[in-house]
Amino acid sequence: MSTREQIRDWFINKLKTITRANGYRNDVKSVSKSLGDLFNVRSLPALVVYLGTEDMQKSGEIFYLRTLNIAILGVSTTSRDTNDSGKMVDANESLIDDIIRCINDNEDELKSTFNLTRAEFVSVEPLIVIDEGFLLGTIQINYRLVYVQ
């Protein structure tokens, strides 16, 4: 398994711990690596960890400084009622808060497990979109990490 896959799986396993029983505001129902899973789940919230671009810069004779971008995509809630947009904003924000807290609480483990030189949040993008008559509360959190391999 590649380092990229190991990192993705680390994120998936940690995000699966987002439950009220663990002190979070949400009970995440599904975390996967497949975008198709995100729109086929019956219970929400649901998350996908998506590996993005990776820049590589040669460092010495045999090593590369690798910068990996990761996107955490999610659907927090759905509704047919356009008056629910305020509830969706709240659902998005609580899910974002839980994800950031989960990663921050485990960041030391992430850095030591993969010998990271840097790990940081890049952006947070909450959205409410309309899809086939449904309002969807969606989020995207972009995260970047740097390691040598």
pLDDT in tens, 46-69: 999 999 999 999 988 889 999 999
ω before 45 within 30° of 0 (cis)? yes
For residue 74, what pLDDT band results from cuts at 50, 70 and 90?
very high
Q: Which of 15-19, 38-42, 93-97 has the lowest mean pLDDT?
A: 38-42
CB neighbour list of residue 89: distance below 8 Å, 6 or more residues apart: 126, 128, 137
pLDDT of 39 over the 80 cut: no
Strand partners, 148: 65
Mean pLDDT of 116-125: 96
pLDDT over 90, % of the chain: 74
Q: Is this structure's pTM higher than 0.85?
A: yes
The residue among 114, 136, 126 whose CA lies nearest residue 11 is 114
pLDDT of 93 over the 90 cut: yes
For residue 131, what pLDDT band results from cuts at 50, 70 and 90?
confident
Q: For residue 28, what are the CA distances in angstroms to 43, 62, 64, 71?
A: 9, 41, 36, 17
Q: For residue 30, what are the CA distances in angstroms to 1, 4, 74, 88?
A: 23, 21, 10, 18
Spacing of C-alpha 83 from chain mean position = 27
Residue labelled with tokens 């990996």 = 68
The residue among 140, 142, 143 whose CA lies nearest residue 47 is 140
